[in-house]
């Protein structure tokens, strides 16, 4: 089995890293470059940067901070936020990102996924999915658009599993599934949704939202079959160090990159 990846997530707003709970009440947690450097040194496998207000504000992500990050990192990183065209993606990749991720713009115009995959290759195209709904109400799982700015968030009208299958058919190379109800509350990943998405697609799947302790990471790898786990607040606070987490997971028999 391939080694499971650990991916710190850095939500970016107004040029700094922030963190909220269920996408609300964001607070500043640090400088973009300083945090990126710290995670690379700790042993992160990849990083993901989300410009959380770019899509709802209908603007491009700023390539200046992407270039600063690229000069400091020797691990892959992905950038999301406001990528609505091939030209937008080219600007992000030219600044130094290894992957681009689309979410709300793809919901608004699904052929964007096809265009990005045709231009850059599926391995470069990640689709983020923000899911809402009770764990036991599978027929009510829905995909939320513009979730990075609560006053602009809305139900996209799409069923979660139908959308996952569509993005795979359109050429996406990876899916990041974030449970809005689990985000920032540290109660564990949304296992039911993740397991259902895992059954619906063979694409690499990244779990996002809900990590609070090392057991949550082990549980999501063992029970949901995801390829990677993404987290923010437990890494930002220093409560969990990536090197320590990898040793813990290896002790549970979970393959991780040393």
The residues assigned a catalytic role are 11, 130
Q: In this structure, are residues 182 and 188 in contact, taking their beta carbons and an 8 Å threshold?
A: yes
125-132 vs 142-145, strand pairing mode: antiparallel
Q: DSSP H helical segments within the chain, as ranges?
A: 32-42, 63-72, 86-94, 104-108, 111-120, 160-169, 191-200, 214-224, 233-236, 242-251
Query: What is the CA angle 226-198-183, rounded to 5?
Result: 65
Give CB contacts under 8 A, 24+ apart, made by 139-148: 141/193, 141/196, 143/107, 144/180, 145/103, 145/104, 145/107, 145/108, 146/55, 146/56, 146/104, 147/23, 147/103, 147/104, 147/180, 148/11, 148/23, 148/50, 148/52, 148/53, 148/54, 148/55, 148/56, 148/81
CA dist., res. 13 & res. 16, Å (int): 6
Instruction: Tell me the C-alpha distance between 81 and 113, whole Å.
Output: 14
Residues listed for the chain: 258
Backbone angles phi, psi at 172, to 5 degrees: -60, 150
């Amino acid at each position: 089995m391939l080694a499971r990846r650990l991916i710190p997530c850095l939500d970016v707003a107004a040029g700094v890293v922030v963190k909220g709970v269920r996408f609300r009440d964001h607070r500043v947690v640090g400088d973009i470059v300083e945090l990126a450097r710290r995670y690379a040194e700790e042993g992160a496998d990849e990083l993901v940067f989300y410009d959380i207000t770019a899509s709802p504000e209908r603007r491009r992500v700023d390539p200046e901070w992407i270039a600063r990050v690229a000069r400091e990192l020797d691990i892959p990183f992905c950038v999301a936020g406001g990528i609505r065209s091939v030209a937008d993606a080219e600007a992000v990749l030219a600044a130094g990102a290894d992957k681009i991720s689309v979410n709300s713009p793809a919901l608004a115009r699904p052929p964007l996924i096809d265009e990005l995959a045709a231009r850059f290759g599926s391995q470069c195209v990640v689709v983020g999915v923000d899911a809402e709904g009770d764990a036991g109400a599978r027929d009510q799982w829905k995909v939320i658009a513009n979730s990075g700015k609560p006053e602009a968030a809305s139900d996209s009208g799409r069923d979660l599993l139908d959308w996952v299958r569509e993005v795979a058919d359109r050429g996406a190379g990876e899916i990041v599934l974030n449970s809005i109800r689990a985000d920032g509350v540290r109660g564990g990943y949304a296992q039911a949704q993740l397991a259902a998405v895992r059954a619906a697609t063979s694409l690499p799947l990244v779990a996002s939202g809900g990590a609070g302790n090392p057991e949550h990471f082990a549980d999501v790898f063992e029970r949901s079959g995801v390829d990677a786990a993404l987290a923010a607040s437990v890494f930002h606070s220093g409560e969990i160090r990536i090197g320590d987490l990898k040793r813990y997971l290896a002790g549970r028999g979970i393959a991780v990159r040393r």
